[in-house]
Amino acid sequence: MKTKLFESIEIGKLTFKNRVVMAPLTRSRAGQPGDVPTELNVTYYAQRATAGLIVTEATQISRQGQGYAWTPGMYTDEQEAGWKAVVDAVHAKGGRISQQLWHVGRISNTLLQENGQAPVAPSAIVAKGAQSFVVQPDGTPANVPTSEPRALATE
């Protein structure tokens, strides 16, 4: 049986060297403070550049969108520079990379929100049984129940 898995493929205007796609994997290794991709992230993604396409770990679009400690963002100049280093390293090895963006909505905790605010979500309904990975006030990491969110409003 012949497989096409390792053959190149053209999708639209892009050519991929093979049909292997690395799915997004939440790593929780962003540099602190600031949730900035670091040299560790650069190395991690560059090592996987032989995939036809890498999809990055979920990357929050704002501080309000964070649901897990140490996950990278893409809303500050420092974060953008960190991701540029990642992309440059992957491209230098001939790889292709795409970023998974996220806003976790109600799957968050006040410990992850600026000034301890309630997470924002479409409604103020708690996600029962869900947890967020946080750094507690004493500095220890832990999985904790999600906080009651505040409903989005146009006012």
pLDDT reported for residue 123? 96
What integer is the mean pLDDT of 2-29? 95
Per-residue pLDDT at 128 exceeds 90: yes
Query: Which amino acid is it at 84?
Result: K
Q: How many Cα neighbours within 13 Å face the side chain of 6?
A: 3
CA distances to 7, 59, 128, 146 from 131, rounded to whole Å, are 41, 18, 9, 5
Dist. CA 106–CA 148, nearest whole Å: 7
Q: Which stretches of the chain are DSSP H helices?
A: 39-46, 77-92
pLDDT tens figures, 27-76: 999 999 999 999 999 999 999 999 999 999 999 999 999 999 999 999 99
pLDDT tens figures, 102-119: 999 999 999 999 999 999
Comparing C-alpha atoms, which of 99, 122, 103 is closest to residue 113? 103
Comparing C-alpha atoms, which of 126, 120, 108 is closest to residue 71? 108
Comparing C-alpha atoms, which of 52, 143, 63, 144 is closest to residue 90? 52
Domain ranges in the chain are 1-103, 106-155
What are the b/e assignments for 80-99, b being 16+ CB within 10 Å?
eebbebbbebbeeeebbbeb
